[in-house]
Structure 1
């Protein structure tokens, strides 16, 4: 039971670190995308641990990985189009209005 509580603490700490980086004000879009991927990865580790602890099937993990890959590709495509349009990935280099 101690292992379970330690692993849950580690997963929650990973998620909170990623969330803290995402919420804080960074200048680059790439750092924000990397923090989102870190949160997705921490949630994936939590699901693997949860499903293996309760002996569930791992089919949901395949669907979760597909959705997270689509999210990553969408973020990279937005980053590439922003770099081509504005010349950099600074948030302050373009006007949102």
Structure 2
């Protein structure tokens, strides 16, 4: 059981490292955020399965994570329509 926590902690920490290292492209940042959501979902599922089926919080969590994903994709689509790519460094140079 303790090994599962270490595995989830390692997966979560590696997801954060990818999130902080890929700040240039918005699509890769959104993918790493979705990876973090999946890791948190699986860790919550393992944690809440010990409480004999209290899965209502997981349904709320999945609802909010879907809303977060849709919001990120809509920002990505509107940014690509305005600027032409998802390169964040070129957008900051276009503004100035």
Give TM-score, length-normalised by structure 2.
Answer: 0.91
Cα drift, residue 30 of structure 1: 0.6
Per-residue CA distance 1:10-69 (angstroms, 9 max, x = gap): 111111111001111442111100000001100000000000123251000000000000
Cα drift, residue 92 of structure 1: 1.2
Partner of 2:18: 21
Partner of 1:49: 46
Q: In the comparison of the two structures, how many residue pairs are matched?
A: 94
Residue of structure 1 aligned with 2:60, choices 60, 63, 83: 63
More helix by share: 2
Q: Aligned-pair RMSD on alpha carbons? A: 1.4
Per-residue CA distance 1:50-97 (angstroms, 9 max, x = gap): 001232510000000000000000000000001000000001111266
Contact 2:80–2:86 (Cα < 8 Å) also in 1: yes
Which sections of structure 2, spanning at least 5 residues, go unmatched? Answer: none
